[in-house]
Amino acid sequence: MRILVVISIIFFIASCNSKNGIVSVPIEDDFSHIANPKERWEAYQLSNYEIVQRRSCECIGLEYTARIVNNSVQKVAYEGEQSDEYTTFAKTNAITVDDAFDLIEEYSDEAYSITVDYHPRFGYPTKLIINIYEMIADEEIIYRMSDLKKFN
């Protein structure tokens, strides 16, 4: 009987940290002393994580959670109106943190302006605004990222 109680408690605790069978684990390392945000992010060596993203454009602003496995977007989920347009938008626009750094590098010489805020501990871009052309409205690339969760 005691074994059954212990197993039940362990299962209960594990299920509290689980989302869709994925168990998040705490990130104990702290590389916040590394000044360069990209190097700080790379020091964590995260390839399996979930991160909440908000991608805005002239037509849609949608918040979704991207699950990254082996540095590739594996799954995209969002709450709200379920429509083909929103589903396609979320799946098309979900990116990895490495993809966000690639966008910064890609547009660094050719964009009119780039504004980036970085997470103070993890180094990933929390706000990324790339204004490609000065005289054109609604062509900006805008991402917001938050709520990083690591999983094994």
pLDDT in tens, 67-102: 999 999 999 988 766 777 878 888 888 999 999 999
* pLDDT score recorded for residue 61: 66
* pLDDT score recorded for residue 14: 44
Give me the residues of the chain with pLDDT under 50, please.
Answer: 4-18
The token duo for 61 is 């602003």
Residue with tokens 């490495």: 98
* pLDDT score recorded for residue 18: 47
* pLDDT score recorded for residue 17: 45
Residue with tokens 């103070």: 120
Beta bridge partners of 56: 61, 142
What are the sequence ranges of the domains in the chain? 27-151
What is the enclosing helix (H) or strand (E) of 118? strand 113-118
Report pTM. Answer: 0.79
The token duo for 13 is 């605790």
